[in-house]
Amino acid sequence: MPELPEVETVRRGLETRIVGKTITKSTATTEKSFPNAPAVVQTFLHGAHIIAVRRRAKVLLIDLSTNYSLMVHLKMTGQLVFVPNGAEERFGAGHPSDSLVSQLPDASTRVTIVFADDSRLYFNDQRKFGWMKLLPTSEIEHEPFFARVGPEPLEDDFTADVLWQRLQRRKGTTIKAAILDQTVLAGVGNIYADEGLWGAKIHPATRVRDVSKQQVIALWQALREVMFLSIQKGGSSNKNYVDAAGNKGSYMQFANVFRREGLPCSRHPDVLIEKLRVAGRGTHICPVCQPAP
DNA sequence: CACTTGACCTGTCCGC
DNA sequence: TGCGGACAGGTCAAGT
């Protein structure tokens, strides 16, 4: 799924498109994608105005005038796509060739939200791992996930020292598993874990206790660099991901290891990127930059 | 508590 | 071409 840069890109796209709009109705085709009771949806979603679109970790928060919020997790294949003029609009026409969406709704559409001007927001999710739910805005901070999630890595107060401290709770596991752990820091997923570890020249299977302070500083810097760059490029479209306008991101053109097995390392043109399995996930390394621990 | 593995789903790709 | 298995951006529950 969408990791921090992709979710942030969606957030920015939605912010400019839906804030101020009024929701008139919604339909859900898959119970688990939007499990709230119909009465709750009727009372707190229909008729509400959009106040703000926020992000925490990989979760989107759409604040409503009813003092409820829509909490959305895209998981692996979720999309939130805004379409200006409803079903007749040929979406994607006139877009650059990188537009994935031709017409919505499609077979993966789980929820449709209709605004008063007949524009729509589609929640598409091929694998049905994602979900959206309504809850009182004041209860967000008490959600179990938010009560445990770690700091935002792109905030100014997220220093290398903070990362070092947060890693101490996972000394026995691999550095890759540790940075994927959302309670250590928020927002890193499989793509940026691999890219950050390559940037810091750390093998993903290195035990946290064996990672030096200097390496943690390099990792802190590399993770922030790759995620800032990815936001600039509109995120990574490995497969399903598109932004709020239905367009793909271009970060994968700048990736150094992710999904580049068999291709040369940009630091060592005669060395090929290898793929292995670490923390139960496909993992990509340069065997020279990142020697086995 | 720390750590690992399987489960949740659908679709695609790869080898036989 | 068909079919089985592995794998895919994330998180949780349950196991050790």
Strands lying side by side in the sheet with A109-115? A23-28, A109-115, A120-125, A78-83
3-state secondary structure (DSSP) of residue A15: helix
Query: Whose C1' is closest to the CA of A7: which nucleotide?
Result: C9
Q: Distance (Å, rounded) from C-alpha A109 to C-alpha A267? A: 42
The sign of the CA dihedral A195, A196, A201, A202 is: negative
Of chain A residues 193-222, which have a beta carbon within 7 Å of strand B? 208
CA of A210 to C1' of C8 (A): 30
Q: Distance (Å, rounded) from C-alpha A178 to C-alpha A193? A: 10
Which pTM does this prediction carry? 0.95
CA of A42 to C1' of B9 (A): 28
Kindly give the confidence (pLDDT) of every residue in chain A, 293 residues in length, as a single tens digit, with 9 standing for 90 and above: 699 999 999 999 999 999 999 999 999 999 999 999 999 999 999 999 999 999 999 999 999 999 999 999 999 999 999 999 744 444 444 443 344 456 899 999 999 999 999 999 999 999 999 999 999 999 999 999 999 999 999 999 999 999 999 999 999 999 999 999 999 999 999 999 999 999 999 999 999 999 999 999 999 999 999 999 999 999 999 888 999 999 999 999 999 999 999 999 999 999 999 999 999 999 999 999 999 99
Question: Does the nearest atom of strand C lie within 7 Å of A57's Cβ?
Answer: yes
